[in-house]
Amino acid sequence: MNASQKNRCPRCQAAIPADSSESLCPACLLSGVLNASGPQTATLTAAPEGSLPARETPDFPCSFGGYRLLGLLGRGGMGTVYEAVHLATGRRLALKTLGRQLDSPEMRQRFLREGRLAARVSHPNSLYVFGSEEVEGLPVITMEIAAGGTLKDSLKQRGPLPVGDAVDAILDVIAGLESALAAGVLHRDIKPSNCFVDPDGSVKVGDFGLSVSTLAKTDTFVTAHGKIMGTPAYASPEQLRGDVLDVRADIYSVGATLFTLLTNRAPFEGDNAVQVVANAVNQKPASLASLRDDVPSGLERAVARCLAKQPEGRFAGYAALRDTLLPFSSREPEAASLLTRAAAGWIDYLLALLPPYVAMMFLVGGNELLVAPLVERSLYSARYYLLLFGVGITYFAIFEGIWGAGLGKWLRGLRVIRPDGRRPGIARSLIRAAIPIACVEGVRMPLSMAFISTAEWTGLQTALYVITAVACGWIPALLTLRARPGNRFATVWDLMSGTRVVLRPKDTLRPALGPVTSPATPHDTAPLLGPYHVVHELVPGEWGVGLDPVLQRAVWLQRATSTSSSPDRQAISRPGRPRWLQRVECDGETWDAFEAPAGTSFSDLVNDGKRLPWSTLRHWLHDLASELWAGSGDRTLPVESSFDHVWITAEGRALLLDRPWPGVASPAVRTPVTDLAGQQRFLGSIAGCVESTEVPLHARPVLRNVAEGRFEKLSFLTGTLRGLVERPATVGRGLRAASLFMLPGYVWVAFFVGRFHDKPWTDDPWSAVIGSALVVLAAIALMDLAGVCFRGSVSQAIFRLAVVDDAGGLATRGRLLLRWAIAWLPLLVPASIGALLAGRFDGGVVMGAAAWLAVWLAAVVVAALGAHRGPHDRMAGTWVVRC
């Protein structure tokens, strides 16, 4: 090679700056030899000095050590990936080899580092790494194979994906990346070619070649050399600049990948890699609406937010991004029930009409707003009245038409959509709001005019006005009588406006036990069992904990049995069982190596009679039911199961073990699980560990039927438990505060404005405020007392709450009466005494009443903060749960 050749790029023959130490020109370093005529999708890597051309592709099938290579899956910057079969076990897998031209101590370090990072992640949406070894002098990594190809392949075959399919794929990618982040891994190279499609259609994240650890400060191999790595069309601007990265860099790449799935083009393109980088750093991507007309505006905004140039402009984490994308997935949204809609509608109508009503009462007075339309009966006299409802209808038109939900529906987890899933728009929302209001006012106004004809109202006329207003308020309820599950609870205004109200999809995150722990470091004299260092013997000669010295991953080493060594057991890749890794022969004995996820035994969590919250246990019940159902199909279930057979991972997932965990003080009772009855008994014993006072009412029949073995098929039980996982489980502080304050607040405002808007009450404001508050609270107390007969109050019915006793059943009327007395008598008794003394000690009584009311309200605030159990609940022995 002459001097001129040394100063030229071996790939594009461009000149290399004389002071450069690289073997490639700047463009090839940035592009990774991108194809300038197509989308920029290759990974940026820098080949070492003197790299040799890649060896010829062998003739398939061929032998390679203990593997048989079936075909080529792909090539990357680090090496080649083959479809292979492990001859000893028959397992199909992907085998990644370090290219011979890259074989050097430095590149071996980086190659094995990729395997260590990927081995930290065990999730259904991430390709699983089985192990690492050296074959024919080359390091190899064996991993799970996704037979469906990559998302890049899907784009080649199908073109731009349907909106629902594209979002579904990205939701899977998010789940895999979130698991990786929890394990301390930042991917840094998300793109369609690194997202693999499983035969069942799910998508798995793979290729952790450019990943970095967020945990270990010593893992700096990639960044220590100051090289920019990634794929220009999918890498964030800060990654292209070589800045410090966090999760928002991967969120950028996720948005870019979604952009490509929807358009079949990268967000940024150019004639060469340098232009691509310049566009990615400085230009805005084309809008999705300009490339595709069926992309919902909300999805377009979400993608644009992911692609913000500055990290601060993007989603802060995967949870927020997931919740934003879920409404656009292909999953059919669940129709909202009438009770849920009624509660949300009541809140929305309150917010829409109460503020303008208060404002107009003080600005124009009650006569102009309420009396004049009934007496004068002209359009001009009704101008303020029409303005009031105009403002209310505008509230719905804006909030539901543009954002899909007013505050009430947002609080209750609802949204209004068209049949195609899009937001209704202002015109449809106007129709939706106008129909029920017109039905109410169209009846109420003529009735009121029939009773009232003069401006001077008698007591009887006032009573008739109030009765008419209350009675006509139930007219919308009559219009919902034909709404039922069969027509997805469609009301008259739903049908006439072409809209429907559905539950807002929101992913339910399972509570984690704690951070993922690193495996223990073996001492120098630790014995070897095959390739593994034995760190700890749980049962001598039967079960031990080992460490993979290459992947730095803990494994369980168990003496092989006929069950554990069966091909069906070895092939299990479900999230409900530990993965089988390999068979180890040592000193004439056969051992099975299984993954050993960090976590704890279920027995340890429930020892000494400890109870578990429903919000956590419901996930584990579903995990175990799913595994029992799947294991029954392939006959890989253990003969018996118990608490000791359940392992809870640090990420909060329940695994069914083949053998009982040996590290418990006393063995748990075992239940045969080879038939449906035994499986239900086992799940019933798990469900029996729940804290009964936290179980929502809707879950209690399910748990009772499990305990009594009433499910005809395990698939029915699994699907039912899945529904429980997706429903709200706890009483939040916001919901509790709304149930305590909203109805009294609404009644007080309406009463106060109606009573004092046109009177000189400002000379004694405290008397007006305190007096009206006490009157309203007394009325609410009487309503709650009447609700004791029905074992629930109006507020609880609106917000779908119930009161249970210490056994978890609905509280008795006697206990509810005690609870009412504890809550209300401390306010009502002093207030009644103060009312009797008001004429004699006017000023002092008012100040005393104000002070006592403040103390009582403080107790109500404490009850709201307690959410699940306020002070009066503790004294009465009750708890508040969801219906």
Distance, CA of 614 to CA of 692 (rounded, Å):
8
What is the CATH number that goes with domain 162-328? 1.10.510.10
Q: Which of 6-10, 407-411, 618-622 has the lowest mean pLDDT?
A: 6-10
Q: What is the pLDDT of residues 157-189, one digit of tens each?
A: 999 999 999 999 999 999 999 988 888 888 888
Q: Give residue 126's region: left, alpha or beta (phi > 0; psi -120 to 50).
A: beta
What is the percent of the chain with per-residue pLDDT over 90, rounded to a whole number?
Answer: 32
| Helices H / strands E in the chain, number of each | 33, 25
Confidence of residue 222 (pLDDT cuts 50, 70, 90): very low
Torsion of Cα atoms, 871 then 873 then 877 then 880, to 10°:
-140
pLDDT for position 733: 87
Mean pLDDT of 311-322: 92
Max CA separation in the chain (angstroms)? 113
What does the pLDDT read at residue 473? Answer: 81
Please give the DSSP secondary-structure letter assigned to residue 810.
B
Report how far residue 544's alpha carbon sits from residue 586's, in angstroms, rounded to the nearest whole number: 14
For 252-307, the pLDDT digits (tens) are: 999 999 999 999 998 988 777 777 788 888 888 888 988 998 888 889 999 999 99
Tokens, residue 618: 């419901």
Q: Give the DSSP letter of residue 15.
A: B
Describe the strand order of the beta sheet including 129-135 as a list of residue ranges: 62-64, 67-75, 79-86, 92-98, 138-143, 129-135
What is the model's pLDDT at position 18?
53
Q: Considering the chain, what is the average pLDDT of its residues?
A: 82
pLDDT over 60 (residue 210): no
- Cα–Cα dist 259/589, whole Å: 54
Sign of CA dihedral 92, 96, 101, 103: negative
186-209: average pLDDT: 85
The mean per-residue pLDDT over the stretch 747-753 comes to: 83
Q: Tell me, yes or no, if the two domains 162-328 and 508-730 fold the same way.
A: yes
| Predicted local distance difference test score (pLDDT) of residue 229 | 44
Backbone angles phi, psi at 70, to 5 degrees: -100, -25
The share of the chain scoring above pLDDT 70, in percent, equals 85
pLDDT of amino acid 399: 93
Question: pTM (2 decimals)?
Answer: 0.82
What are 496-516's pLDDT values in tens digits? 999 999 988 776 777 877 655
pLDDT of residue 521: 65
Phi, psi of 97 (to 5 degrees): -115, 145
What pLDDT was estimated at residue 281? 82
Find the distance separating the first CA and the last CA of the chain, reported in whole Å.
Answer: 80
Q: What are the domain boundaries of the chain?
A: 162-328, 338-503, 508-730, 733-882
Identity at 465, one-letter amino acid code: Y
Q: Which of 220-234, 745-759, 813-827 ranks highest by mean pLDDT? A: 813-827
pLDDT at 304: 93
Q: Could you tell me if 527 and 534 are in contact, meaning their C-beta atoms sit under 8 angstroms apart?
A: yes
At residue 227, φ and ψ (nearest 5 deg) are -95, 145
Dig out the tokens for 185 from the structure.
Answer: 């891994």
What DSSP designation does 557 have?
E
Q: Which residue has the tokens 């085998």?
A: 95
- Is the pLDDT score of 104 beyond 80? no
CATH of domain 508-730: 1.10.510.10
Q: Is the pLDDT reported for residue 402 higher than 50? A: yes
Segment 336-342 mean pLDDT: 84
In contact, 530 and 584? CB cutoff 8 Å? yes
Give per-residue pLDDT as tens, 24-37. Answer: 444 444 333 333 33
Residue 759 confidence class, pLDDT cut points 50, 70, 90: low
CA–CA distance, 532 with 554 (Å, rounded to integer): 9
Higher pLDDT, 48 or 525: 525
- The secondary structure of 20-58, three-state, reads CCCCCCHHHHHHCCCCCCCCCCCCECCCCCCCCCCCCCC
Measured in whole angstroms, the distance separating CA 650 from the mean position of its chain's CA atoms is 18
| pLDDT at 76 exceeding the cut of 50 | yes
Q: Determine the length of the chain.
A: 883
CA angle 636, 642, 644 (to 5 degrees): 100
Rounded to an integer, what distance in angstroms lies between the CA atom of residue 180 and that of residue 793? Answer: 46
Mean of pLDDT values over 568-585: 89
DSSP tag of 612: B
pLDDT of 624 reads 96
Tell which residue, 624, 867, 834, has the closest CA to residue 731: 867
Q: Rounded to whole angstroms, how far apart are CA atoms 123 and 576? A: 10
- The answer to whether 358 and 749 are in contact (CB under 8 A) is yes
pLDDT band at 47 (very low <50, low <70, confident <90, very high): very low
Q: Please report which confidence band the pLDDT of residue 393 belongs to, taking 50, 70 and 90 as the band edges.
A: very high
- State the Cα–Cα distance between residues 864 and 870, nearest whole angstrom: 7
